[in-house]
Structure 1
Amino acid sequence: MFKTFTTLLVIACSCGGYAQVEQEVNPPGYIKSISFQGQTRESQLPILQLGQQLNLEFDALNGDEDDYYYKIEHFDYDWTRSQLMQTEYLNGIDNQRIRDYENSFNTYQIYSHYKLRLPNEQTRGLKVSGNYMIKIYNDFDQLIFSRKFMVQENLASVGVSIKRSRDVRKVETMQSVDIVINSGNMQFNNPAQTVKTVIIQNNNLNTAIRDVPPQYTIGNELIYKYTHETLFEGGNEYFYFENKDIRGANSAIQFIELHELYSNYLFTNVPRFNQPYTYNPDINGNYLVTAIDTEKPYIEADYAWMHFSLLMKELPANQSVHVYGNFNNYAISKFTKMTFNPNQGIYQVPIILKQGFYNFKYVIVDNRTGAISESAIGGSYWQTENDYKVLVYYRDLGARYDRIIGIGEGNSVNISN
């Protein structure tokens, strides 16, 4: 009997170990300009209210007019698959072909532009809140790329305020996020265990702070006023360029060449980690596709090779420099890696991008651990203007999935001590 119990225990532990944390899959090189937004189209990280519309658009640069299919999956707070069956979270069916696409018009780079709207005739809506992932497959059922999104119920109010660090050693470089969650008509049961938060800076899930428990409970309010647990690097304002006129240089573009495609050479940037903070308006890492003299920029905007360069000494072999921004979902890949040019003493890389307005920064990556340092080149300053979002998850006792019951937003433009 003891042997049987031990065997069952081992099986149970083994099954628990298969709870795999889902990661987003980055697209191949011919998939570009993935735009994933909610109904208000204000963000590259869709966080929508239950019942709102979701928009996914992307370009395929291979010119083959391939067929693509989408699937939707539901996840718990920690991005492991939830216990819900598809019929419990999805109204309708998925694994449907994306039917709305158009080919580019009057462009050097041939591409097909795909659009997906949810809900639609086949997928009529989502039934519950929480974490979701949409996966795009090709004709051979091969996963091309995936993107995360969140759906919330707006049941609790979430107040967010941005403060300078309470730790005097970090007061010049860090920003602290204070949170007040008011449950309203809901009754939180054991909030230290059932309520979880995710704090996101500039729509970048890579740097999000997770699983910080409430510090105090006062009536129906949960208070978070930590010294260290909710600290973010202030970072620096993003660099930018705009090439809506692909044939004309502007303040960020040094010169232009035309070969098979246009090549836009940006002015060489310099590190700013040891310089005084200077305010420079940005859109906090996002991008916008736009082109002059076009009625439909999503199919009339062209692609160009954007040549990035950074004046900096060569790093050790275990470190690399990458171009970083929401234009590729803050992904580190071979396409964003810069190479050192010893003749000019600069790092450089060409990246093919659609016409528009782009924010970007340079980061250093540890090649052994994959750790990203955003401030090693750009510096970190408490004055930097950043957007913050706070998602509040709740799983009541006995519940089978994690709901998102509220979202709060704040901006450091009104930062205080």
Structure 2
Amino acid sequence: MNRHQLFLFSVLFSSLYWATSCVPVEQTTATSGTTSGKSEYSGSTGLRYEDFVYDPTIKSVQFYVQTGNAEEVFNAPVVPITQTDPVMLEFDQLNTPQQRFTVKFVYCNIDWAEARLTQIQFIDEFNEFYITDALSSYNTKVPYFHYRFQLPRVKLPGNYLVVVSDRSGNPIITRRMMVYENRVTVAARSVLPVGTEERATNQQIDFNILYPDYPVVNPSQEIKVVLRQNGRWDNAKTNLRPSFVHDTQKRLEYTLFNGTNSFPGLKEYRGFDDRNLRGRGFNVETVSLEANPVEIKLYPEKNRSRDVYSQDVDINGKIVYENRRFGSTNTGDPDYVLVNFSLAAPDPVPGDVYVFGQLSDWKLDPEYKLTYVPAAQQYAGKILLKQGYYNYSFALQAANQPQKANEVYFEGSHFQTRNNYDVLVYYRPPGTRTDLLIGYQWLETNGTRR
């Protein structure tokens, strides 16, 4: 039996097994998005050129650079053109038999619209790959299949939208990936913001771009920069222009005085740990093992906007999935747990309240929206999440800014907070049809995280 026959047999076998073993779990339907750009996916499929999950049975998506160390899942999907360390995609599908999924690349410009390139210009292989690494969950109340895929190499620096589709060709996951080739040098540093009102709350990133050995035409207009905090796209700074152009030194200086390269530092993130359901982990008040799925209640939270800065250790809003039942072997895979969140509020706040972070894809997702309970004077909600160690914050969605997550309202903001930043430098050479990623630098503010 060859590999293809073995894969089809496993799909048929799992269909029979899962038809009788699924535990129903209430799901929330994802909102369909608008189509941007023109591609084979446009139209009824509603492809979104951003990190997005289209299927409500898909959970716990991880997209990172595999480096072999314990913290690799925190790595943003940004790799050099050599791609020595591969990019990994992992996700779960709940309460379904094993499926056949495919992966494709869409090459994009700096604005994440599809570039006018043929596939042979950015990849040597046929641009469709099957995901064959799939494992059924073991010893879990909520059954799922866990899928893993190592992305193949590409040959052109720039932005890539990774599209995972089902057997009908409908997208189920999209993820952004960046490949850079350092043709310029980026020198970035964290400084105190210029404005006196922001000095205690914000973090400013100043940087220089040096291009002594790379031919650039009209650098002040044609070199474009994106500045991100903690790998996020929802609050990324785009269209940054240099404050000074040093032609003789072939250097662009970005020392801005209008706050365009300044971010609220926020606070170290809130967190909880439910990796060991036989005990009560960090910030877990109660555990109901008899419930199906298992249900936990976190300690009630409060508004921290007026609190002083506290140097707590966090993971910048990210997640580690793990089942850690101490003193036992063959504990099984991480299960899915119904997590109860609550936030004290004597009165309703001027907008909707959400649990926010990597767990919500850095979006104000309806599944993560909390409801005000007047009798308890709190916002509360239940969310189905995979066992692990989580960072999160609470965010306000103001009526006048429906797309913006206001974390400062509940969390406050401090210059001392430890955050990661990265600078992405793009350039479109004359006569070409796409934006190349020609420079990249990552830096951390306020010391090394341990």
TM above 0.5: yes
Q: Could you list the per-position Cα deviations for residues 285-331 of structure 1 after superposition, in whole angstroms to 9, with x for gaps in the alignment?
A: 1111122258899x711111111111114436x72100011123212
Superposed, which structure 2 residues align to 1:12-411 within 5 Å? 22-40=49-67, 41-43=72-74, 45-52=76-83, 53-119=86-152, 125-218=153-246, 219-227=249-257, 228-258=259-289, 259-292=291-324, 300-315=333-348, 319-367=351-399, 369-411=402-444
Q: Which has the higher strand share?
A: 1
Assess, with a 3 A threshold, how the Cα gap between structure 1 residues 346 and 408 changes in structure 2: closer, same or farther. same
Q: Could you list the per-position Cα deviations for residues 110-136 of structure 1 after superposition, in whole angstroms to 9, with x for gaps in the alignment?
A: 0000011121xxxxx211011111111
Assess, with a 3 A threshold, how the Cα gap between structure 1 residues 143 and 296 changes in structure 2: closer, same or farther. farther
Contact 1:194–1:397 (CA<8 Å) still a contact in 2?
no
Shift of 1:17: 9.6
CA distance in 2, matches of 1:82, 1:324: 32
State the superposition RMSD in angstroms.
2.3
CA distance in 2, matches of 1:168, 1:177: 16
Shift of 1:338: 0.5
Q: Could you list the per-position Cα deviations for residues 371-401 of structure 1 after superposition, in whole angstroms to 9, with x for gaps in the alignment?
A: 2211111111111111101111111222221
Query: What amino acid is the match of 2:184?
Result: A
Shift of 1:408: 1.0
CA distance in 2, matches of 1:314, 1:109: 36
Query: What amino acid is the match of 1:114?
Result: Y
CA distance in 2, matches of 1:388, 1:296: 39
Q: Could you list the per-position Cα deviations for residues 83-142 of structure 1 after superposition, in whole angstroms to 9, with x for gaps in the alignment?
A: 1111111221233321110100111110000011121xxxxx211011111111112222
CA distance in 2, matches of 1:250, 1:115: 28
* SS in structure 2 of the partner of residue 209 of structure 1: coil
Shift of 1:402: 0.7
Q: Unaligned regions of 5+ residues in structure 1, if any? A: 1-15, 120-124
CA distance in 1, matches of 2:145, 2:37: 41
Assess, with a 3 A threshold, how the Cα gap between structure 1 residues 230 and 279 changes in structure 2: closer, same or farther. same
Q: % of aligned pairs identical?
A: 27
CA distance in 2, matches of 1:364, 1:17: 30
Contact 2:185–2:209 (CA<8 Å) still a contact in 1?
yes
CA distance in 1, matches of 2:94, 2:343: 28
Assess, with a 3 A threshold, how the Cα gap between structure 1 residues 184 and 351 changes in structure 2: closer, same or farther. farther
Superposed, which structure 2 residues align to 1:2-21 within 5 Å? none
Query: What amino acid is the match of 1:255?
Result: T
Assess, with a 3 A threshold, how the Cα gap between structure 1 residues 17 and 243 changes in structure 2: closer, same or farther. closer
CA distance in 2, matches of 1:117, 1:410: 26
Shift of 1:44: 5.4
Shift of 1:184: 4.5
Shift of 1:156: 2.1
Assess, with a 3 A threshold, how the Cα gap between structure 1 residues 111 and 42 changes in structure 2: closer, same or farther. closer
Contact 1:162–1:414 (CA<8 Å) still a contact in 2?
no
CA distance in 2, matches of 1:376, 1:200: 21
CA distance in 2, matches of 1:315, 1:183: 53
Contact 2:356–2:364 (CA<8 Å) still a contact in 1?
yes
* SS in structure 2 of the partner of residue 370 of structure 1: coil
Contact 2:275–2:281 (CA<8 Å) still a contact in 1?
no
Shift of 1:182: 2.1
CA distance in 1, matches of 2:37, 2:59: 35
Query: Residue 11 of structure 1 aligns with which residue?
Result: none
Assess, with a 3 A threshold, how the Cα gap between structure 1 residues 414 and 250 changes in structure 2: closer, same or farther. closer
Assess, with a 3 A threshold, how the Cα gap between structure 1 residues 42 and 137 changes in structure 2: closer, same or farther. closer
Query: What amino acid is the match of 2:442?
Result: E
Assess, with a 3 A threshold, how the Cα gap between structure 1 residues 220 and 163 changes in structure 2: closer, same or farther. same
Shift of 1:246: 1.8
Assess, with a 3 A threshold, how the Cα gap between structure 1 residues 390 and 361 changes in structure 2: closer, same or farther. same
- Structure with larger RCO (C-alpha < 8 A, sep 6+): 1
* SS in structure 2 of the partner of residue 203 of structure 1: coil
Contact 1:44–1:326 (CA<8 Å) still a contact in 2?
no
CA distance in 2, matches of 1:271, 1:55: 36
Alignment TM-score, normalising by the size of structure 2: 0.82
Contact 2:95–2:142 (CA<8 Å) still a contact in 1?
no
Query: Residue 10 of structure 1 aligns with which residue?
Result: none
CA distance in 1, matches of 2:263, 2:334: 36
* SS in structure 2 of the partner of residue 338 of structure 1: strand
Contact 1:238–1:359 (CA<8 Å) still a contact in 2?
yes
Contact 1:323–1:360 (CA<8 Å) still a contact in 2?
yes
